[in-house]
Each structure stands twice: as structure tokens, then as C-alpha cells.
Amino acid sequence: MQVRFEQRITIVRGIKPRQTSINEELQWFGNALGLFGARDKDKSCFRIFIELLKSAKKNQPLTSDDLSYRLGLSRATVIHHLNRLMEGGMVLHDGRKYLLRVDSLTHLVDEVQKDLARTFNDLREIAGEIDKRLGQ
């Protein structure tokens, strides 16, 4: 049985923050990974991401209810953003609990880079097959 896994990888190139504020750097980091959209006015996804990062450091997965309670957000809002984070391959879901894919931002970047490399390898392979069929 072959399991299909789809992941939306988004990279947004922007200007790195000049100041050394950790909040600005974290916001830039998340924006660069396409995690935080302009429609997220109260930075809910950012707040969820930070809470998941803290829990990953402790290796303590959280439920959507945990996140909702800790952040003062509706469960629907939390679930919406968790789904987006899972779609991007940043968050893993095990039963009712959620955890950041890895326990550090450096490892997260490494994993995204591996995901991109695998995707580009697949693209190159398929492109080669198509080129052969087209006689190129």
C-alpha cells in the first residue's frame, strides 16, 4: 500500500529584520516559511507556533483545547491554524495531540530544506520523463 503525502512548501523571500528583537525575528522566520498570512490580524498562527515551539522544547504535545485555553483563542481558530501548520509540514498530529515536527528552529529549517530537495528531485525526474516522451 502506497501512502500519499501532500505538503505545501512556501518560501517567501523578504528583508531580514535589522533590529535584534526576538519577536521580530520569529515573525520574519514564520513569514519566510509562509506560515503567517496578512489576514491573521491578531497573530493567532504566530502565537500558536510559538506555543508549539515551547512545548516541543519540553517534548510535551498539546491538544487543541490546551492551545485554545493558553492563548485565549476559540478552538475553531486553533484548529484552522493547526491544519495550515500541518499542511506546511511544520506540525505533527498524533491522536488528539499536536507537536512541532522538531524541537528547534534550526532543525525545522533543515527538515524543510530536505523536503524541498526531495520535491525538486521528484520534479527533475518527472521533467526528464516528460522530455523523453516529447522527444527532447
CATH number (domain holding residue 47): 1.10.10.10
> Is 3 inside a domain boundary?
no
Query: Is residue 16 in a domain?
Result: no
Q: Do the Cβ atoms of 13 and 120 come closer than 8 Å?
A: no
Instruction: Give the whole-angstrom CA distance, residue 89 versus residue 87.
Output: 5
User: Which positions ≥6 away from 67 have C-beta within 8 Å?
Assistant: 48, 51, 52, 73, 78, 82, 98
The pLDDT mean for the chain works out to 87
pLDDT for residue 3 is more than 50: no
In a domain, 15, yes or no: no
**Domain membership flag for residue 38:** yes
Give the domain range for residue 84: 22-133
Q: Encode pLDDT of 14-57 as tens digits.
A: 888 887 788 888 888 888 888 877 677 678 898 999 999 999 99
Q: How many domains does the chain have?
A: 1
**Domain contains 17:** no
Q: What pLDDT was estimated at residue 6?
A: 75
pLDDT of residue 38: 67
pTM of the model: 0.81
**Residue 1: pLDDT above 50?**
no
pLDDT tens digits for range 56-95: 999 999 999 999 999 999 999 999 999 989 988 899 998 8
Instruction: Report yes or no on 68 lying in a domain.
Output: yes
Stronger pLDDT, 35 or 106, i.e. the higher one: 106
- The predicted pLDDT at position 12 comes to 83
1 assigned to some structural domain:
no
Instruction: Evaluate whether 17 touches 25 at the Cβ level (below 8 Å).
Output: yes
Asked whether residue 39 is assigned to any structural domain, the reply reads: yes
